[in-house]
Amino acid sequence: MRASVVAPIQGLGSAVLSAVASVGTAGHLGVGALRALRKGDMWGPHILAQMARIGVHSLPIALFIATFTGIVLALQASYTFTGAIPLYFVGTLVGKTMVLELGPVLTGLALSGRVGANIAAELGTMRVTEQVDALETLAYDPIAYLVVPRVLAGAIMFPMVVLMANAVGIVAGWLTSLWLLDMSSPEFLKGLRLFFRSWDVWFSVIKSVTFGLTVTSVGCFFGLHTTGGAEGVGRSTTHSVVASSMIILVLDAFLAAVLL
Partner 1 sequence: MSIRLEEVHKAFGRKEVLRGFTIEIHEGETVSIIGGSGVGKSVALKHIVGLLRPDRGEVWVDGENVGRMPQQELYKLRRNVGYVFQFAALFDSMTIGENVGMGLRRIPEMSRASIAERVAECLRLVDLEGFEERMPAEISGGQRKRVGFARAIATEPKYLLYDEPTTGLDPVTTAVIDELIMRMRRELGVTGVVITHDMNSAFRVSDRVALLHEGRVRFQGTPTEMRAADDRIVRGFIEGRPELMGAAP
- Applying CB under 8 A, the residues found at the interface with partner 1 are 126, 129-131, 133-141
User: Shortest Cβ distance from residue 135 to partner 1 (Å)?
Assistant: 8
Positive/negative CA dihedral, 7, 8, 13, 17: positive
Length of the chain: 260
Task: Pick the closer one to partner 1 by CB: 42 or 87.
Answer: 42
Task: Pick the closer one to partner 1 by CB: 208 or 226.
Answer: 226
User: Shortest Cβ distance from residue 9 to partner 1 (Å)?
Assistant: 20
Q: Which of 120, 135, 113, 158 is nearest to 42 (CA)?
A: 135
Task: Pick the closer one to partner 1 by CB: 149 or 159.
Answer: 149
* H/E stretch holding 116: none
Cβ atoms of 13 and 119 closer than 8 Å: no
User: Shortest Cβ distance from residue 146 to partner 1 (Å)?
Assistant: 11
User: Shortest Cβ distance from residue 37 to partner 1 (Å)?
Assistant: 14
Task: Pick the closer one to partner 1 by CB: 190 or 235.
Answer: 235
Q: Which of 224, 210, 245 is nearest to 128 (CA)?
A: 224
Using alpha carbons, list the distances in angstroms from residue 192 to 87, 171, 185, 200. 11, 11, 10, 12
Task: Pick the closer one to partner 1 by CB: 4 or 41.
Answer: 41
Measured distance CA(67)–CA(256) in Å, rounded: 24
User: Shortest Cβ distance from residue 124 to partner 1 (Å)?
Assistant: 13
**Separation of first and last alpha carbons in the chain:** 52
